[in-house]
Amino acid sequence: MSHIGRAAEPDKRTLRREILAVRGRLPADDVQAASAALARRALDLPELAQAGTVAAYVSVGSEPGTLALLDTLYARGARVLLPALLPDNDLDWGAYAGEGSLARVQHGGKMTLLEPIGERLGPDAVTAADVVLLPGLAVDARGMRLGRGGGSYDRVLARLEDAGARPALVVLLYDSELVERVPAEAHDRPVHAVVTPSGVRRFTGDS
């Protein structure tokens, strides 16, 4: 486990700032190597091997890389759904069909994202996923995830709950982002597994 967050439980904003600063210092070669390792580790997960539909996302900048994983899942015949950010921070979804099916979209003053260019399937499309890959900045010993704070994936998780959908929830992180504890609220839901370049950690007691 990383030392980040061990001495005392920081607030979410502080922890996000610390982790993003570390990510921002990562050399491009390290990001690329981690992406390849993450794809290998994630593809060993039975949940992904057996999934017919995977809701994922396209990593940007120094985020743990997802493109290698997306390409392999698509080549295996899985239906891969990718998000498109809506003006209210909710997510619509579209199908991935290789890197040529992505376009760079600038969302006002927010970051530029790679989004699917095909048909929009609606926010409820995520409820059909067997696995949902959640972006995150950290996960703690309980399986609680720290997101970026935009609230988009809180809506996704609430939508899954409302629909009675029970996909496997998986987060891709760097090794140092497994921490002792992240601040959590009553509505937060633990994830089932975290994949890092060095291995997979599962969380028991998930409901």
Q: What is the DSSP string of 34-56?
A: HHHHHHHHHHT-HHHHS-SEEE-
**Mean pLDDT for the stretch of residues 150-168:** 93
207 lies in a domain?
A: no
What is the number of alpha carbons within 13 Å of residue 173 lying toward its C-beta? 27
67 lies in a domain?
A: yes
* Joined tokens for residue 86: 């809506």
185 lies in a domain?
A: yes
Q: How far is CA 164 from CA 81, 120, 127, 161, 187, in A?
A: 19, 22, 8, 5, 16
**pLDDT at 205 (0 to 100):** 52
5 lies in a domain?
A: no
Higher pLDDT, 167 or 2: 167
What pTM did the predictor assign? 0.89
Look up the CATH number of the domain holding residue 160: 3.40.50.10420
Q: Does 72 have pLDDT greater than 70?
A: yes
Chain segment 184-206, per-residue pLDDT in tens: 877 778 999 999 999 999 997 54
Which residue segment(s) compose the domain that 183 sits in? Answer: 12-201
Number of H helices, E strands in the chain: 5, 11
65 lies in a domain?
A: yes
Give me the number of domains the chain comprises.
Answer: 1
Q: Does 3 have pLDDT greater than 60?
A: no
**Mean pLDDT for the stretch of residues 44-52:** 91
**Mean pLDDT for the stretch of residues 152-175:** 95
165 lies in a domain?
A: yes
Chain segment 131-141, per-residue pLDDT in tens: 999 999 999 99
145 SS3 class: strand
110 lies in a domain?
A: yes
Residues 70-92, buried b or exposed e (16+ Cβ, 10 A)? bebbbeeebbbbbbbbeeeeebb
Chain segment 62-71, per-residue pLDDT in tens: 999 999 999 9
158 lies in a domain?
A: yes
What are 132's strand-pairing partners?
55, 169
DSSP-H helix ranges across the chain? 12-24, 28-43, 46-49, 67-75, 152-163
